[in-house]
Amino acid sequence: MVEASGGKWDPASRTLTFTSRPQTGVASVTRWRFLGDDSFEWNVQAKDAAGKVYLDISGKLTRKK
């Protein structure tokens, strides 16, 4: 159960940042950085308060025309 979540847009860096608590004691941060009209890079990291990483993934999506 997600305890809390939210997102914020940074126009200077063209980045959406989402934060959530997917379970008690674990916080996650997801970032989508828009590189242009047809692509963006993303990463997700989830860790506990002690800094133990439970998830760390990233990728790039590009629209095919």
The per-residue pLDDT for range 20-49, each reduced to its tens digit, is: 988 889 999 999 999 999 999 999 999 999
- The two structure tokens encoding residue 18: 């989402």
23 within a domain of the structure (yes/no): yes
Q: How many structural domains are present in the chain?
A: 1
Distance between CA 1 and CA 9 in Å, rounded? 25
Is 65 domain-assigned?
Answer: no
Residue 46, CB-side half-sphere exposure with 13 Å CA sphere: 11
- Residue 64 falls within a domain, yes or no? no
Residue 34 is assigned to a structural domain of this protein: yes
pTM of the model: 0.82
Does residue 27 lie within any of the structural domains? yes
Q: Which of 27, 22, 25, 16 is nearest to 2 (CA)?
A: 22
* Residue range of the domain that includes 10: 5-59
**pLDDT tens per residue, range 4-22:** 678 899 999 999 999 998 8
